[in-house]
């Protein structure tokens, strides 16, 4: 399993004089073939969002990530920003919230969240159209492509290591947010950060890093990437055992759970959680004391809920890892569950790539010849040596502290064996807990899909229940009836998640 993208592996003001708006339509024609002067390109647009006709500007450009000592750019980070235009000259939107949005990977661009749910244009059936559920209804948006994704690049290969790692990634994205706010005269507006998968943890750590710099972060949207916490809360045995509840949902979807459990998804989940809390978690907590007969009974009950044959369940651990569940549930049919959604055996189609690229290069006017990494491959561009480098995800340094080669090798092997996500190399970076300690008003929405193999809903609910009071006040956890990208292919869930995001923004902005 590649330790790359766990999703697909699976100064503009809002108040514009009429003359300036007229010039915006000419901006694409004035764009350089390969923008290198960092002058943003601005165009004006209209879309029907949230049942209303909204006028907005779209700004595309790159911001230099500079060495603070020399001022030398070490990289250029590409962004697409959408800012609402007030309905009258007397109106002002200087205090309108701004939300920075990125995806995960590591090594994924923002294109997926951009065009699948958050941005003003929605990709459906290979075509782009107005997105009725765009988050632009509640906040201005800045879609961020970290260095090595999209049109973002280091200025030299010698600087790649500064960006292609967990520590440097957080530092560079923090610097992007700080710089963007300054360059757009937005240092006093409410700031929100939204990330998916790997990007959720990035958002929590960037929030802490910004708070340390005196930049308040009002809220976080953490999608399918956990709570952004640097420690676990609750009983380890219970958290381990609760993974069975979400496996039961997937097993029921494939008609592999025991028939006597019924066909009601909610009832099956309740039955699974009751058994986990009353029998399975206590058994795992006293595993060494279990007799052979007891282990066999537990394995039989695990099979009832998960659909995994008893003979395939390890009696020594009595655990089913995400990798084992994916590969064994449909083993007799010769099928493996899709990495990011237990209801599929193949990934969703990537149709729409030409439309997204045309939109960025033509509709928004960013006519660069750089490949948009994540939608286009490096091999579409020029490699001076004739040898193309590996992708960002393959070069990624997960370490947050110095480790021996043996420690790195062992952590990666363990991650591959469990199939539970990227390796943990060194201590977690500061995140949600430390950010809340600096800003008690910070709020977060943690969103998870029931059919996501990585961020199980039942475990998330147990984590929320075990949080200390300050984090309980800050964090709202919610499960959705979807996979890792729960909004894909479901207008209902897309609208539901957008309502929850806008509620978070509105509640925080009204205070």
**Three-state DSSP string of 257-303:** CCHHHCCCHHHHHHHHHHHHHHHHHHHHHCHHHCCHHHHHHHHHHHH
Same domain? 212 vs 87: yes
Could you give the number of structural domains in the chain?
A: 2
User: Helices in 307-452 by DSSP H: which ranges?
Assistant: 322-328, 353-358, 392-395, 405-418, 432-438
Do residues 72 and 201 share a domain?
yes
DSSP string covering 431-461, please?
-HHHHHHH-TT-EEEEEEETT-SSS-HHHHH
Q: Does 221 share its domain with 245?
A: no
Spatial distance between the Cα atoms of 162 and 201, rounded to a whole number of angstroms: 18
Q: How far is CA 114 from CA 50, 108, 337, 491, in A?
A: 17, 12, 26, 16
Q: What angle do CA 295, 296, 302 make, to 5 degrees?
A: 90
Domain carrying residue 313: 236-333
**What b/e string do you get for 100-133 counting C-beta neighbours within 10 Å, with b at 16 or more?**
bbbbbbbbbbbbbbbbbbbbbbbbeeeebeebbb
Q: Is 370 part of any domain?
A: no
- The whole-model pTM stands at 0.91
- pLDDT score for 94: 56
59 within 8 A of 42, measured Cβ to Cβ: yes
**What is the pLDDT, as a whole number, of residue 31?**
38
What pLDDT sits at residue 87? 78
Both 112 and 249 in one domain: the answer is no
Pairing, β 140-145 against β 98-102: parallel
Same domain, 136 and 279: no
Determine the pLDDT at residue 508: 67
Task: Report the 10 Å Cβ neighbour count for 273.
Answer: 20
Q: How far is CA 298 from the centre of its chain?
A: 35
pLDDT at 95: 79
**CA triplet 104, 105, 108: central angle to 5 degrees?**
75
∠ CA 9-454-174, nearest 5°, is: 80
Same domain, 249 and 157: no
Residues 226 and 240 in one domain: no
What is the reported pLDDT for 88? 65
User: Which residue ranges in the chain fall short of pLDDT 50?
Assistant: 1-35, 89-91
Q: Do both 435 and 290 map to the same domain? A: no
**Residue 489 within a domain:** yes
Size of the chain in residues? 511
| Judgement on whether residues 226 and 272 belong to the same structural domain of the protein | no
Question: CA 128: distance to chain centroid?
Answer: 22
- Looking at the fold, whether 192 and 309 belong to one and the same domain comes out as no
**Do residues 443 and 327 both lie within one domain?**
no
- Tell whether 112 is covered by a domain: yes
- Do the bridges between strand 52-66 and strand 41-49 make them parallel or antiparallel, or are there none, so unpaired? antiparallel
Would residue 185 count as lying in a domain? yes
| Distance separating alpha carbons of residues 182 and 207, to the nearest angstrom | 17
Q: Is residue 394 part of a domain?
A: no
C-alpha distances in Å from residue 359, one per residue of 6, 363, 367: 25, 5, 10
Per-residue pLDDT of 438-460, as tens digits, reads 999 999 999 999 999 887 899 99
**pLDDT digits 0-9 by tens, 305-331:** 999 999 999 999 999 999 999 999 999
Cβ contacts of 265 within 8 Å, gap of 6 or more: 249, 252
Residue 386 lies in a domain: no
- Cα 205 to Cα 26, 228, 276, 475, 497: the distances in Å are 39, 7, 33, 15, 23
């Amino acid at each position: 399993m590649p330790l790359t993208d766990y999703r697909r592996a699976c100064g503009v003001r809002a108040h514009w004089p009429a003359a300036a708006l007229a010039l915006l339509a000419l901006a694409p024609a004035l764009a350089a073939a390969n923008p290198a002067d960092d002058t943003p390109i601005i165009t004006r647009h209209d879309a029907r969002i949230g049942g209303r006709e909204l006028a907005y500007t779209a700004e595309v450009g790159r911001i230099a990530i500079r060495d603070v000592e020399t001022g030398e750019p070490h990289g250029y980070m590409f962004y697409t920003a959408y800012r609402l235009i007030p309905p009258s000259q007397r109106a002002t939107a200087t205090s309108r919230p701004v939300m920075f949005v990125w995806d995960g990977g590591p090594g994924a661009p923002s294109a997926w969240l951009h065009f699948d749910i958050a941005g003003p244009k929605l990709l459906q059936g290979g075509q782009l159209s107005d997105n009725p559920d765009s988050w632009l209804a509640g906040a201005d948006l800045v879609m961020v492509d970290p260095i090595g994704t999209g049109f973002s690049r280091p200025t030299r290969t010698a600087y790649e290591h500064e960006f292609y790692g967990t520590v440097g990634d957080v530092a560079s994205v923090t610097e992007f947010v700080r710089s963007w706010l300054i360059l757009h005269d937005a240092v006093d507006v409410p700031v929100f950060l939204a990330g998916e998968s790997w990007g959720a943890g990035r958002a929590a750590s960037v929030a802490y890093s910004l708070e340390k710099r005196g930049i308040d972060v009002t809220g976080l949207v953490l999608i399918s990437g956990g709570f952004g916490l640097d420690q676990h809360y609750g009983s380890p045995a219970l958290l381990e055992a609760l993974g069975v509840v979400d496996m039961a949902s997937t097993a029921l979807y494939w008609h592999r759970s025991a028939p006597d459990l019924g066909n009601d998804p909610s009832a099956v989940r309740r039955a699974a959680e009751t058994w986990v809390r009353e029998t399975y978690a206590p058994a795992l907590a006293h595993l060494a004391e279990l007799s052979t007969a007891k282990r066999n009974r537990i394995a039989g009950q695990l099979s009832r809920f998960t659909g995994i044959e008893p003979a395939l369940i390890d009696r020594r651990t009595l655990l089913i890892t995400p990798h084992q569940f994916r590969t064994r549930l449909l083993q007799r049919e010769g099928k493996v569950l899709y990495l990011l959604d237990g209801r599929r055996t193949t990934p969703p189609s990537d149709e729409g790539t030409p439309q997204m690229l045309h939109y960025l290069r033509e509709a928004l006017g960013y006519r660069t010849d750089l490949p948009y990494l994540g939608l286009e491959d490096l091999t579409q561009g020029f490699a001076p040596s004739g040898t193309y480098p590996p992708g960002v995800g393959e070069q990624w340094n997960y370490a947050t502290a110095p480790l021996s080669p043996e420690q790195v090798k062992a952590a990666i092997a363990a991650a591959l064996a469990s199939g539970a996500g990227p390796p943990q190399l060194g201590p977690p970076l500061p995140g949600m807990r430390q950010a809340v300690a600096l800003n008690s008003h910070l709020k977060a929405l943690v969103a998870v899909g029931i059919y996501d193999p990585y961020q199980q809903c039942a475990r998330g609910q147990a984590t929320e229940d075990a949080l200390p009071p300050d984090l309980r006040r800050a964090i709202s956890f919610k499960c959705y009836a979807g996979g890792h990208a729960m909004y894909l292919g479901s207008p209902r869930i897309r609208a539901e998640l957008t309502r929850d995001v806008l509620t978070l923004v509105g509640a925080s902005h009204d205070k």
